Copies of this chain bind each other. A is one copy, B any other.
Amino acid sequence: RRSHMVVSFTDPVVSMDLLRAVLQPSFNDDIMAVFRKYQQFLDKAAENVKENVGEDVQTDLLITDTCRNLLEQAKQMFPEAETKLARPGVEASMKRSRQTDDDST
């Protein structure tokens, strides 16, 4: 069991995810507090949709989906590793492949 923990802690992704798991409950509380700020707008919009579209609209599902989408879009503030890695990495490999291209032409 000891060696398993050592393996885990030397994997950067695992280490960071352990921290993430520790922070998550507190983070979630903070996120819910943010959502409460917007609750009235979401409620009102969903009610309007229901009025305009009909009784079969499930306002709670509309609101839940919107909250998910807000979080999903917020992730764009933190671009994925591949995109960021692309700058030095891809450039280097592009130069390399261009040189190869030049050599071949």
Chain A interface residues toward B at CB < 8 A = 9-10, 12-13, 15-17, 19-20, 23-24, 27-28, 30-32, 34, 37-38, 41-42, 45-46, 48-49, 52-53, 57-58, 60-75, 77-81, 84-85, 89
Contacts and interface: CB of A to CB of B under 8 A. Distances in A.
B9 A52 contact: yes
Interface secondary structure of A, over-half rule: helix
Nearest to A53: B12
B75 A15 contact: no
Given A12-B53, A65-B13, A66-B19, A28 B81 contact: no
Select the residue from A10, A19, A45 with max chain B CB neighbours within 10 A: A19
B16 A65 contact: yes
